[in-house]
Copies of this chain bind each other. A is one copy, B any other.
Amino acid sequence: MSAREEPVDIVVEERRLAGTLITPDKRIPGFLFVHGWADSQKRYLVRAREIAALGCVCLTFDLQGHAETEHDQDNVTREDNLKDVLAAFDLLAKHEAVDRNKIGVIGTSYGGYLAAITTQLRPVRWLGLRVPALYLDEDWNTPKSQLDKKKIATYRRGPVGPGENRALSACARFKGDVLIVESEKDDIVPHPTITNFREAFENAHSLTYRVIADADHALSEQNWQEAYTSTLLNWATEMVVGSREEGDTPQALTEMRPGPTRGPPKPA
């Protein structure tokens, strides 16, 4: 219980009544939103507002090579964009209202891939992945737009384990709570990729997996967007309210420290 509970006297004329005042933590959870490739923060504002209404600080942002810096899209590498996510995370974590032990990262597609890697570099407690993309570890510093698209498409259709992929390795070590949302008719991030992610989270504190029926990768129909918003909001509510009830810093985060992010997930 992180709330403070204190006895108070209620004065009524010459009488005093015994009361108990319960106040929640002053510091509140934070959520970072990472958009997908060729998208921008714009679309995420509505969801960020809804999660802020749970009593959280939310941060959306434009990755380098997008929105105002779209002119740079052909040059930007995964390393560049990972640095962007880390910088955004740090800005959120430094916010005076934010409880550093209660930060969630929510990413879509390429943003989900970056979010997954971020869990090994920053103390992420909650990880929300919508149609998370997968890339080969090789050519990490090659501009993202120059990666071999055919090779990636093939890679996404086969089984990939945590030992052979940086993002999945991060998932395998992640000890927080996970949401994975799949689009049933996704040509870009097909079912086998989602399965690779799901199977990777062997140490997660909880896993919530949902499929949006009939939906495509971009959730191009309004009702698919709404289904995702509702799923995300329910999950965030459960996480935020649950964390306020339990209060203490979860073991997963106190144990976490910066370190190598590659290699097999466990010494075994």
A residues near B (Cβ < 8 Å) are 1, 3, 5, 8, 10-13, 15, 17-24, 26, 28, 41, 45, 48-50, 52-64, 67-69, 80, 83-84, 87-88, 91-92, 95, 97, 237, 241, 244-245
Do B49 and A22 have beta carbons less than 8 Å apart? Answer: yes
Closest CB-CB distance, A249 to chain B, in whole Å? 16
Closest-by-CB residue of B relative to A1 is B49
Cα distance A184–B64 when bound, in Å?
A: 61
Closest CB-CB distance, A135 to chain B, in whole Å? 20
Do B95 and A241 have beta carbons less than 8 Å apart? Answer: no
Those 9 A-B pairs whose CB atoms lie nearest each other, nearest first: A55-B55, A19-B61, A53-B244, A22-B52, A22-B58, A12-B87, A53-B245, A3-B52, A20-B60
A20: contacting residue among B5, B8, B19, B45, CB under 8 A:
B45
Do A13 and B83 have beta carbons less than 8 Å apart? Answer: yes
Cα distance A15–B69 when bound, in Å?
A: 10
Closest-by-CB residue of B relative to A3 is B52
Cα distance A106–B212 when bound, in Å?
A: 38
- Give the dominant DSSP class at A's interface: mixed
CB-CB under 8 A from A84, the residues of chain B are 10, 12, 17
A24: contacting residue among B22, B28, B41, B91, CB under 8 A:
B28
A88-B17, A91-B8 as given contacts; A52 in contact with B23, CB under 8 Å: yes
CB-CB under 8 A from A18, the residues of chain B are 41, 61-62, 67-68
Closest-by-CB residue of B relative to A88 is B10
CB-CB under 8 A from A28, the residues of chain B are 24, 55
Do B22 and A244 have beta carbons less than 8 Å apart? Answer: no
A10: contacting residue among B22, B26, B61, B241, CB under 8 A:
B61
A17-B64, A55-B54 as given contacts; A22 in contact with B3, CB under 8 Å: no
Cα distance A200–B50 when bound, in Å?
A: 33
Do A19 and B91 have beta carbons less than 8 Å apart? Answer: yes
Complex A-B: 29 CB contacts under 8 Å? A1-B49, A8-B59, A8-B91, A10-B84, A11-B87, A12-B83, A12-B84, A17-B62, A17-B63, A17-B64, A18-B61, A18-B62, A18-B67, A19-B59, A19-B62, A20-B45, A20-B60, A21-B59, A22-B48, A22-B52, A22-B59, A23-B52, A23-B57, A23-B97, A24-B55, A50-B245, A53-B244, A54-B55, A55-B244
CB-CB under 8 A from A80, the residues of chain B are 12
